[in-house]
Structure 1
Amino acid sequence: MTAPRRRAVVVLASLALSLSLSLALHTPSAGTTTGPVTAEEVRREAATLLETARSVSVHVRVRDGRHTVAAGAGEAVLGTGRPVPRGAHFRAASVTKSFVAATVLHLVAERRLSLNDTVEHWLPGRVRGNGNDGSRITVRHLLQHTSGLYDYDSTELTGKTAPDFGRHRFDHISPEQLVTAALRHAPDFPPADPDDPEPRWSYSNTGYFLLGAIIERVTGRPWAVEVHNRIVRRAGLRGTRFPGDDPHLPEPYARTYHRFAGSGGYTDTTVRNMFWAGPAGALVSTSRDLDRFFTALLTGELLPPRELAAMRSTVPSNEEHQQFTPGMRYGLGLMRQPLSCGGSRWGHHGDLEGTFVRTGFTADGERSVVLTVNGRTTDDTRLLTTEKAMQGLIDRFLCRR
């Protein structure tokens, strides 16, 4: 862990305790509300979240079996009063990882790839130097964030201020460039021992950039084509795409806004080139499509039982992530968190300048919540407050009886 990350953990520790206690004390007990979820109930929850997060817009989609309700709060364009449109497209950010992981597991089911294959086997010489050794890192390590590879993202190239974002928002940065930059750093820790039930864990976009390259080496086709053919098209996801260098979202959409450190107000972050995010976070989707994808995944429509079981095999996340997501465990491209009513919720988070994307699914896929919040800040206290509110909302709907 780098020095700034260590300082962030120290700063967040006391706040995290408050978050954990608040979740325990203020999440309504399961079963206190009965009957079908109503549009008015979802609207109230969305409005409360909007106020708590002090964001620009919120959209919530809730499903119980075949009964689906969606509602929003706030405005799609700051200062206009226009509501978030139905079927809005958004950048799903790291939710992309679940799609890529499902694609990798699909190749494993076809025996074209093994979870125990090394990076060196598929990408000879790609991961070497500064203590990095691709011959010790497996596909499973990459999927589960137990490789120890340094987590490199675009902000380390494009800057972290509003003026920097404005100057670099249209830059073409490839995932390969970010892998090269990441390998200039020593790993956070050695790759996990396969026999360790609770290995060291550290979130790494770098690992998913490498997975995209491995998919291409195995199949001879671009990773995005494979994800589309094996997952997106198969699940009937009509609003999901990988935009490449196109900086625009397809209509309809709500604008995203980010309050950068040191800035006096919001910066519109809607239009930007996301080519850099690639297999770690470039996906554009809709709430309906994310609901459909995770439901199909968890109910066995997309993967055979053995591969789905491997995907659900989890390890504890690290201290840094526990600050925001208490109890979180990570599988192969899947997040798992405890529910207040017992059991767990599954899905994946997505975070980007200006946007939060949160998904929650019961293990059987019968209940789901897909949540987007536009209007984000860099302030740690505000981020924790917003995270608590989002997690509480998801928990209440999934625990409803």
Structure 2
Amino acid sequence: MQVLRRRRRRLFVLTGLATILLAASGGPTVAADAQHADPLQRRVDAIHDTGVVGVSAEVTSPGTRTRAVARAGVAERGTRRPMPPGGRFRIGSATKTFTATVVLQLVCEGRMSLEDTVERWLPGVVAGDGPDGSSVTVRQLLQHTSGIPEVLPEIAALNSADGYRAERFRTYTPEELAGLAMRRSEDVSTEAAWSYSNTNYILAAMIIREVTGRSWDREVEDRIIRPLGLSGTSTPGTSPLIPGPHARAYAAFGTGTDSGSGSSSSSSIDVTALNTSMAVGSGAVISTTHDLSRFYAALLGGRLLEPAELAEMTATVSAPEMGVSYGLGLGEIPLTCGGTYYGHPGELLGYRTWAGITRDGSRTAVVYATSDGGPDTQQAMRTLVDQELCGDAAPGK
């Protein structure tokens, strides 16, 4: 069945892969048997042992309709409430893959080009002592090679407990965020060819609005979330709430890490409520492990982009800050068993995730953890994804 969205069509329909994955979410194929689940559970436990409050992971093989899940820790510190099945969480920078997908769909439709300058769509927005909008292209935004400074250090709610308490409900406009970033010209590096900046994707969201006449939220909803039937995925706009079942989030703001035992920690606070308007286009999506698996499988399976645009997305440059190669909203990460996989890590105030998919789209692994953790947490999450994608055909083995 043809499921590609043709040029200049506005909407997708739910077909093919989404139906297969929905079928795989129920019945006897949902959970792998104990023999297969044990290694995944051990890897989840290893993440929990790094000091986070809760962990949840899912590994799927869409072609064989198999799926394994594992959880550890608690959904709320100080309780015995387990991590919720199908729990929703803020996926942080994995949002960038959604945004890049929408941009590339618009490129496919002939409504814009990757070589368009930022100035063409956002006149006067990128100006000052740093990069100039007339010399920065859309491709460079998505690739993090624009040199545009990072805005997040200007967001008080993300940088201290007092700032969070005072400004967790504050609404930012994209224009305001761009202005804050432009004031940080001292952070512009003229030496590095690649430099990660959330501002790039805030600008990309603004360009989507200019090209379509509709908000980034609406375009992501109508082009990705609804067509794929991602019922646990949403763009919250200015709402500080996470709809549906979810674990609480905790942040220590650099003063310590949380205990995974569920005991109280004086060094961190509950940061579940957050207006994520400061992360429009760059980190605001809420999703589930199952929905992220379906999204990446659809993307690498060619169901969201034409071959030419998918080739653009997966053409990478060196990204030394992340230790990977980076395309357009998608990282290419080495596998210890040889070869590479595609995916994206994410982190936004108390939630962190790592999502990966094999190059042929046959196997996905998604894991998220609540609370800060530390370098060991990120490494353990990366190890889980690596080992699961290197494993045998059955998820969790």
Candidates 376, 379, 388, aligned match of 1:385: 376
The answer for unaligned runs of 5 or more in structure 2 is: 1-32, 257-265, 393-397
1:249-306 deviation line (CA, Å, top 9, x unaligned): 1120011111223464221111111111111111011111100000000010000000
Out of 296, 299, 309, the residue aligned to residue 298 of structure 2 is: 296
* Corresponding residue for residue 354 of structure 2: 358
Q: 1:30 maps to which residue?
A: none
- Give the structure 2 partner of residue 251 of structure 1: 244
In 2, distance between residues paired with 1:277 and 1:265? 25
- Partner in structure 2 of residue 315 of structure 1: 317
Q: Is the 8 A contact 1:95 1:349 kept in 2?
A: yes
* Comparing 101-110 and 65-74, the one that deviates more: 65-74
Tell me the matched-pair count: 348
Q: Partner residue of 1:188?
A: 188
Once the two structures are overlaid, the 10-residue window that deviates more, 35-44 or 279-288, is 35-44
Does 2:52 match 1:55? yes
Deviation at 1:122, TM superposition (A): 1.0
| TM-score when normalising by structure 2 | 0.84
- Tell me the residue number matched to 1:397: 388
C-alpha spacing 1:125/1:170, structure 2 compared with 1 (3 Å): same
Map 1:2-401 → 2, pairs under 5 A: 38-51=36-49, 53-65=50-62, 66-153=65-152, 156-158=155-157, 160-186=159-185, 188-189=188-189, 200-262=193-255, 264-318=266-320, 320-322=321-323, 328-377=324-373, 383-401=374-392
- Give 1:74 shift: 0.3
Aligned equivalents of 1:239, 1:252: Cα separation in 2: 9
* Letter matched to residue 144 of structure 1: Q
Structure 1 stretches (4+) deviating beyond 3 angstroms?
154-159
Q: Using the alignment, how far apart are the partners of 1:339 and 1:41 within structure 2?
A: 18
Query: Secondary structure of the equivalent of 1:358?
Result: strand
Give me the whole-angstrom Cα distance separating, in 1, the residues matched to 2:101 and 2:342. Answer: 14
**Secondary structure class of the residue paired with 2:313:** helix
- Local SS of the residue matching 2:152: coil
C-alpha contact (below 8 Å) 1:55/1:376 kept by paired residues: yes
Deviates further, 300-309 or 175-184? 175-184
Instruction: Provide the C-alpha distance between the structure 2 equivalents of 1:345 and 1:144, rounded to a whole number of angstroms.
Output: 17
TM-score, structure 1 as length reference: 0.83
- Measured against aligned partners, the alpha-carbon deviations of 1:63-120 in whole angstroms (never above 9, x if no partner) come to 1342101110000011111111111110111111100100000000011110000011
What amino acid maps onto 1:305 in structure 2? P
Query: Distance between the aligned counterparts of 1:131 and 1:277, measured in 2?
Result: 22
- What is the rounded CA distance, in whole Å, between the counterparts of 2:34 and 2:318 in structure 1? 34
- CA shift in 2, pair 1:358/1:67, >3 Å: same
For residues 366 and 126 of structure 1, the distance between their equivalents in structure 2, rounded to whole angstroms, comes to 41
Structure 1 contact 154–178 (Cα < 8 Å) conserved: no
**Structure 1: gaps spanning 5 or more residues:** 1-34, 193-198, 323-327, 378-382
Are residues 343 and 247 of structure 1, via their aligned partners in 2, closer, same or farther at CA, if it must alter by over 3 Å?
same
Residues 130 and 185, structure 1, Cα contact 8 Å, conserved in 2: no
Distance 1:174 1:42, change over 3 A: same
The alpha carbon displacement at 1:154 in A equals: 5.8
Tell me, yes or no, if the aligned pair for 2:153 and 2:159 is still in contact at 8 Å: no
Contact 1:37 1:69 in 2 (8 A): no
Q: AA paired with 1:61?
A: E
Q: Is the CA contact 2:40–2:388 (under 8 Å) kept in the aligned structure 1?
A: no
Amino acid at match of 1:184: R
Following superposition, the deviation at residue 241 of structure 1 comes to 0.8
Letter in 2 for 1:78: R
Q: Is the 8 A contact 1:349 1:357 kept in 2?
A: yes
Counterpart Cα distance in 1 of 2:208 and 2:293: 25
Instruction: Indicate the SS of the match to 1:321.
Output: coil
Provide the residue aligned with 2:30 in structure 1: none
Contact 1:209 1:278 in 2 (8 A): yes
Contact 2:130 2:188 in 1 (8 A): no
CA distance in 2, matches of 1:388, 1:185: 31
Tell whether the 8 Å contact from 1:139 to 1:211 is kept in structure 2 after alignment.
Answer: yes
Cα deviation per residue 1:22-66 (whole Å; 9 max; x = unaligned)? Answer: xxxxxxxxxxxxx99723332222122201x11100001011342
